[in-house]
Amino acid sequence: MAVPIAIRDWGRCDYETVAAAMRDFTDTRDTRSADEIWRVEHPAVFTLGQAGRPEHVLERGDIPLVQTDRGGQVTYHGPGQIILYPLVDLRRRRLGARALVTRLEQTVVDWLASQGVSAAPRADAPGVYVDDAKIAALGLRVRRGCSYHGLAVNIAMDLSPFQRINPCGYAGMTVTDLASLGIDCSLATAAEALTDQLLVQLNGA
């Protein structure tokens, strides 16, 4: 039987506020706490993961840089990008961190396929790619057997800030969004469809 998952919409909210709330949620939940998926759009921000190297930030300019506790290197969040944060008790779902990453990647692949876009993950660089261009980034943290942080999917955004960093630590990596592929989709529509796909992935575990 599927374990219930609550959906929480944050709208547009700054990264540090949501990151602090995720940590608090994870630290205070217990075995009876429902899993949740948080949906949010962040104002412009660069985030540097635990293994992040500052030299991958080439030109920060006026965009804030936040050190965070997720895995991975540096990435950019900004308007026009939908973010799904799965706050999931992995032990209860009998999932490991790698399996969750796979399900997050498959969520995006399946949704893009429904839009007529062929995409795939890469073994050497977590995320989802259309040809060689990255359209979705992943970064997780697992604490007390529970996940937080998650998945960012580029819908219709200003992609130029990605040129100020080595995305996820890869110099010269091309980044794209759904709009650049000629597909018009609102952030709200994308959020609902991606959530539905993620629920299928999590409840099918």
Q: What share of the chain is helix, strand, coil (3-state, %, to 5)?
A: 30, 30, 35
Q: Are the CB atoms for 10 and 19 separated by under 8 Å?
A: no
Say if strands 81-87 and 146-154 run parallel, antiparallel, or are unpaired.
antiparallel
Do the annotations mark residue 70 as ligand-binding? Answer: yes
CA 163 vs. chain centroid, Å, equals 19
Do the annotations mark residue 2 as ligand-binding? Answer: no
Residue that the structure tokens 């692949």 belong to: 109
> Does residue 185 carry a catalytic annotation?
no
Do the annotations mark residue 197 as ligand-binding? Answer: no
Interior/surface letters 15-41, b for 16+ CB within 10 angstroms, e for the rest: beebbebbbebbeebeeeeebbbbbbb
Do the annotations mark residue 76 as ligand-binding? Answer: yes
Do the annotations mark residue 151 as ligand-binding? Answer: yes
Distance between CA atoms of 48 and 76, rounded to whole angstroms? 9
Catalytic position from the list 13, 146, 168, 185: 168
Q: Concatenate the DSSP letters of all residues of 97-140 into one string.
A: HHHHHHHHHHHHHHHHHHTT---EEETTEEEEEETTEEEEEEEE
Do the annotations mark residue 99 as ligand-binding? Answer: no
Distance between CA atoms of 108 and 106, rounded to whole angstroms? 5
Do the annotations mark residue 77 as ligand-binding? Answer: yes
Do the annotations mark residue 58 as ligand-binding? Answer: no
Do the annotations mark residue 71 as ligand-binding? Answer: yes
Do the annotations mark residue 195 as ligand-binding? Answer: no
Binding residues for substrate: 70-77, 137-139, 150-152
List, as residue ranges, the binding site.
70-77, 137-139, 150-152
Known catalytic residues?
A: 168
